[in-house]
Amino acid sequence: MTRDDYKRLVDEALQQQFLTDADFPMRGLAEAMRYSLLAGGKRIRPILVLEFCRLSGGDVKEALPVACAIEMLHTYSLIHDDLPCMDNDDLRRGRPTNHVIYGECTATLAGDALQAEAFGTILRSGLPADRRARCAEILAGAVGLDGMCGGQYLDMLGEGKQLSEAQLNEINSRKTGALLIGACQMGVAAAGGTEEQMEAAAMFGAAIGMAFQIRDDMLDVLSTKEELGKPIGSDAQENKNTYMALLGEDACRQLVERLTEQAKNALRQAYKDTDFLFALADSLAQRRN
């Protein structure tokens, strides 16, 4: 399958989530959930789930609920990131953020509900029970205390301080990297893949996760509001610790290139048909939004 094929599969499946009718009492909450879930985006995490499932010998269609689940989880994190108590952003993917449209309380609940429904979607899927449990376990680790939420906490603690590259790496390996590692490993788990494949998936996810965050920091300086779909320059305005501020553009660009090659090398022993993931890694390293 092509990247567009995978994205189409995911988008069609997500369109079927949280449908409501006029008499549904929680209709407003479901609308808020769908507003952010269906706001577009590259769908990188679900695409990684599906491709690693295919590479590991699994059925992509059977893994589709797992792919949707990680996008629900990712969407919850974006809704909460944008809240006034966090980054206080009013634009996401070229549209007003969730709390701007639905209010802070409903936006908070929309994120909470999407996190819960992510696990429910995995556990209600048609995968064998042991694979469902493994996928849910991986996702919990990716988002919890030692994963994305822990990384966001460390990021908050670092505000107003001058952090080292090692400290930035520790934050971003959790804040951004953990969910990308989780996506790759959930694809292997959905297929019932080997430990060698699981390890290679983790190494690939860690490298592209770090490259993704560095590229994000670059784009906040080098991109435009139209390309990025959200305000630019906010990192500098808020004195955030970023790779661009610490290392500069040239060093960041070189580091992204090295990490992308590192990601590719991680796959070579465990997998043969790697063209898709190599091309994906390259495109993420060069993205403009």
Residue 224 tokens, joined: 């435009």
State pTM to two decimals. Answer: 0.94
Tell me: the pLDDT tens digits for 133-181?
Answer: 999 999 999 999 999 999 999 999 998 889 999 999 999 999 999 999 9
Average pLDDT, the chain: 93
Residues contacting residue 254 through CB under 8 Å, at least 6 positions apart: none
Q: Which of 263, 247, 253 is nearest to 287 (CA)?
A: 253
Domains and CATH numbers, the chain: 3-285 (1.10.600.10)
pLDDT of 223 higher than 90:
no
| Residue 230, pLDDT score | 63
Tell me: the pLDDT tens digits for 225-246?
Answer: 666 666 666 666 666 789 999 9
Tell me: the pLDDT tens digits for 38-78?
Answer: 998 999 999 999 999 999 999 999 999 999 999 999 999 99
- At residue 60's C-alpha, the angle toward residues 184 and 56, to 5°, is 50
pLDDT of 256 higher than 70:
yes
Using pLDDT thresholds of 50, 70 and 90, give the confidence band for residue 79.
very high
CA distance 41 to 261: 25
